[in-house]
């Protein structure tokens, strides 16, 4: 048996397989999900099994990087609207956790180094642990071991407790997850409505004998004319097509933008606009790399291909195809035009279908490299304090930017949804395996040596921090339950919590909420941990 346990890779994947199986078991409607790997690793760790530290770090990097890529397209729009809210949630949880740590340290008469470790472990923040160790080593050389012990004691309860809390949160708050999903979908629809197609009768004399391109030259409205009906014939809306009074046009855009264009064209009509045999309207996935990265204006769609793009769908979002919009790998576009032109363009756009299943590895890896480098840069604060985001924090911030812009300089990144999901789930499992084994190796021994009071102290910090976040989110901001789950996981910097939240919904709201709160929470806790060491040294000595 000892020979088998000595095979680290064999043991690692045994933990992953057993933990995955355990996580799929359901009791009274509850399942552990990804946390099954954590529990399995705790048991293996108690019996002396080890997992290379690099495996855990790699897993965390892959997880946060995939989360950032997934949330990037919507993150900045959401963050701009709710930045103060996210700061209040993250700051409230970090602040309450710090006050709780001070109270626990005074009550249990703990050394300041051990108390600082309890704080970082109770909020499951490894970068904060590194920051606290750095300050302690400068103030009391050799004292960093106690910080790590405190972290190791508080960490398992916080990791597991938050996961269980998120799994039982719907029952505790007596909320229906399906109703919460529908509520968010309706809110998203009102904020970013899907594109609609409506017909208008040209009754404005100012439109008579004007070309399609001359109707809306300065983009007063973000809507596009896609088809024109004159008599019984239907034509593709070529830019040089001359409109006449009595023509009926089909226009694609959001409801608000369509209302604007109605003021220019004329009243709405519901006459049928069936495409005739000579005009095609098809949806096609963009898999030709040579067409990506250029704006539609640069591509001169009509001049080169004599087709009109009326819709673009990207990662669940519908985009109006204006001249400054670029095509990206994996986009779904609706093309209208003469039959032969559309068929030729579709063949060009869909020329390399295998590309839609491939991850562009060079920009993917360059993004990781830049993130790790960013995390290693020290930031100087007053009183000689120095903070670092850490490799995971840096990789997360870079992935948000890459996910938003879709490129790193001249390198364009495309990663299929399946690739991002694999990176996220496998990364999380590798991280849980390493974290669980490390915690399990010392958990029982530390409890026997220090007594359960330290575990109890760490649990108090975790519970009060999580409770503060829930009070702010549920009773002050009245956030959607799924958003609360993601934000709570981020406020506690608890990746398994996000896994537990995602397992309960088909939407990406927990991921989006997690990505919005996580960077703020990470920065707050790194800074608070360093100031907390200074405060605890004065209060507890």
What does 207-263 look like in DSSP terms, one character per residue?
A: GTT-BHHHHSTT-SS-EEEEEEEETTEEEE--TTPBP-TT-EEEEEE-HHHHHHHHH
Considering the domain architecture, whether residues 147 and 91 belong to the same structural domain is answered as yes
Considering the domain architecture, whether residues 34 and 182 belong to the same structural domain is answered as yes
pLDDT(163) > 80: yes
> What's the domain range around 204?
192-356
Confidence at residue 183, expressed as pLDDT on a 0 to 100 scale: 83
The b/e string for 350-378 (b: 16+ C-beta within 10 A; e otherwise) is: eeeeebbeebbeebbebbbebbbebbeee
pLDDT band (50, 70, 90) for residue 293: confident
pLDDT, mean of residues 138-155: 73
Considering the domain architecture, whether residues 262 and 405 belong to the same structural domain is answered as no
Total of domains in the chain: 2
Q: What is the percentage of the chain residues whose pLDDT exceeds 70?
A: 83
Considering the domain architecture, whether residues 7 and 101 belong to the same structural domain is answered as yes
What SS3 class is residue 319?
strand
pLDDT, mean of residues 109-127: 85
**Residue 297: CATH number of its domain:** 3.30.70.1450
Considering the domain architecture, whether residues 197 and 293 belong to the same structural domain is answered as yes
Considering the domain architecture, whether residues 151 and 99 belong to the same structural domain is answered as yes
Considering the domain architecture, whether residues 367 and 325 belong to the same structural domain is answered as no
pLDDT(450) > 70: no
**Residue 170: CATH number of its domain:** 1.20.1530
27/55: higher pLDDT: 55
Mean pLDDT value across the chain: 79
Q: How far apart are CA 74 and CA 79, in angstroms?
A: 9
Confidence at residue 443, expressed as pLDDT on a 0 to 100 scale: 64
Instruction: Give the distance, in angstroms, between the CA of residue 395 and the centroid of all CA atoms in the same chain.
Output: 13
Highest-scoring range by mean pLDDT, 233-237, 383-387, 532-536: 532-536
Considering the domain architecture, whether residues 158 and 204 belong to the same structural domain is answered as no
pLDDT, mean of residues 302-318: 72
Considering the domain architecture, whether residues 170 and 245 belong to the same structural domain is answered as no
Considering the domain architecture, whether residues 138 and 156 belong to the same structural domain is answered as yes
pLDDT(314) > 80: no
Q: What is the pLDDT of residues 339-356, one digit of tens each?
A: 777 777 777 777 666 666
pLDDT band (50, 70, 90) for residue 287: confident
Highest-scoring range by mean pLDDT, 227-231, 414-418, 471-475: 471-475
Q: How far apart are CA 433 and CA 51, in angstroms?
A: 7
Considering the domain architecture, whether residues 312 and 166 belong to the same structural domain is answered as no
pLDDT(243) > 80: yes
pLDDT, mean of residues 150-160: 80
pLDDT band (50, 70, 90) for residue 427: confident
């Amino acid at each position: 048996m000892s020979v088998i346990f000595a095979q680290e890779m064999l043991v690692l994947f045994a933990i992953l397989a057993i933990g995955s199986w355990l996580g799929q078991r359901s009791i009274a409607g509850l399942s552990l999900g990804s946390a099954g790997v954590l529990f399995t690793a705790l048991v293996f760790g108690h019996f002396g099994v080890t997992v290379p530290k690099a495996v855990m770090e790699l897993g965390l990097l892959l997880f946060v990087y995939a989360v950032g890529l997934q949330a990037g397209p919507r993150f900045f729009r959401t963050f701009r609207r709710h930045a103060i809210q996210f700061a209040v949630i993250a700051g409230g949880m970090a602040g309450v956790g710090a006050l709780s740590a001070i109270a626990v340290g005074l009550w249990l008469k703990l050394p300041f180094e051990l108390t600082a470790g309890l704080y970082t472990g109770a909020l499951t923040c490894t970068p904060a642990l590194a920051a606290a160790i750095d300050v302690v080593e400068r103030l009391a050389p050799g004292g960093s071991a106690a910080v790590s012990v405190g972290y190791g004691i508080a960490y398992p309860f916080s990791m597991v407790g938050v996961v269980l809390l998120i799994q039982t949160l719907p029952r505790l708050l007596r909320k229906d997850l399906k109703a919460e999903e529908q509520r968010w979908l309706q809110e998203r629809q009102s904020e970013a409505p899907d594109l609609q197609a409506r017909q208008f009768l040209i009754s404005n004399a100012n439109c008579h004998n004007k070309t399609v391109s001359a109707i809306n030259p300065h983009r007063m409205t973000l809507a596009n004319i896609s088809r024109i009906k004159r008599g019984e014939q239907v034509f593709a809306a070529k830019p040089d097509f001359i409109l006449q009074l009595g023509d009926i046009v089909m226009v694609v855009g959001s409801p608000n933008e369509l209302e604007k264009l109605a003021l220019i064209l004329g009243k709405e009509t519901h006459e049928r606009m069936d495409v005739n045999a000579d005009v095609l309207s098809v949806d096609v996935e963009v898999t030709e790399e040579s067409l990506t990265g250029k704006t539609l204006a640069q591509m001169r769609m009509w001049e080169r291909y004599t087709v009109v793009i009326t819709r673009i769908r990207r990662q669940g979002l519908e985009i109006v195809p204006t001249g400054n919009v670029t095509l990206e790998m994996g986009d779904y576009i609706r093309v209208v035009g003469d039959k032969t032109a559309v068929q030729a363009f579709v063949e060009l756009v869909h020329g390399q279908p295998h590309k839609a299943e491939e991850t562009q590895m060079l920009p993917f890896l360059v993004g990781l490299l830049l993130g790790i480098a960013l995390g290693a840069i020290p930031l100087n604060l007053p009183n000689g304090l120095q903070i670092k985001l850490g490799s995971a924090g840096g990789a997360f911030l870079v992935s948000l930017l890459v996910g938003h812009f879709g490129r790193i300089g001249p390198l364009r990144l495309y990663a299929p949804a399946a690739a991002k999901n694999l990176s996220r789930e496998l990364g999380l499992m590798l991280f849980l395996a390493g974290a669980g084994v490390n915690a399990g190796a010392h958990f029982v021994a530390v409890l026997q040596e220090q007594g359960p009071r330290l575990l109890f102290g760490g649990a108090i910090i975790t519970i009060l921090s999580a409770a503060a976040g829930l009070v702010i989110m549920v009773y002050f901001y009245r956030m959607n339950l799924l958003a609360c789950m993601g934000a709570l996981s981020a406020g506690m910097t608890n990746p398994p919590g996000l896994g537990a939240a995602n397992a309960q919904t088909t939407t990406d709201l927990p991921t989006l909420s997690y990505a919005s709160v996580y960077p703020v929470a990470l920065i707050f806790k790194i800074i608070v941990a360093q100031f907390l060491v200074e405060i605890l040294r004065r209060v507890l000595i």
